[in-house]
Amino acid sequence: MGKGTQAHLLHERLGACHLSTGDVFRAASRTNCIQSPAMTAALEYMRRGDLVPDSTVWEMVRERSGCVRCQGGFVLDGFPRTLAQAEALNQLMQEEKISLSAVVNYELPLAEIVSRLSGRRICEKCKSVFHVTQQPPKAAGICDHCGGRLYQREDDRPESITVRMEVYERSTAPLIQFYQHLGLLLPVAATGSPEEICARTVTALEQRSQPVT
């Protein structure tokens, strides 16, 4: 399971607000969703097959900036992905006089990333996530929760994953250096079950929050 699963588990475990840019983009593509100007602009880019620019992604995040003021804290999922987004987030945090506790970097060998993502299946109705080997449904191709059909996302096919990793190396990996420089990077091994990874993450966060004696 990926970062979205971990963000959801951390939301449940810590009571923190979960802000997922993936969920925001999916909401923008639904016809019954009331769209903000930023969501409308993002949808136009996606319809043309273009990447949504940083400025539009940032506006979509700002529209939900109430999450960063949540008393229980917040977990950002899928943002920031570029240095420009990270710098914009840093500016917002300064304006709100809020500081980040940590930026979790889940570490996993490439071969396992391909295996994990290519085995992922999503319910077309309730969006529940399964895995063909690690978390299979009770009936093949059928969601345990609502009976919807499970499908493989185009970007979860092995060839697409390779392209995604190339994009990651170009645009997202520099964030590691950015947050290392700020002293916020928190490496966590992403091996084991989702629950084991979550427990490892919580322990690392708790250790970071303890005062140095």
Catalytic residues: 3, 81, 120, 153, 164
Measure the CA dihedral 110/6/23/124, to 10°: 80
Residue 151 pairs in a beta bridge with 122
Query: Omega before 136 cis (within 30°)?
Result: no
DSSP labels, 15-79 = --EEEEHHHHHHHHT-TTS---HHHHHHHHHHHTTPPPPHHHHHHHHHTTGGGGG-TT-EEEES-
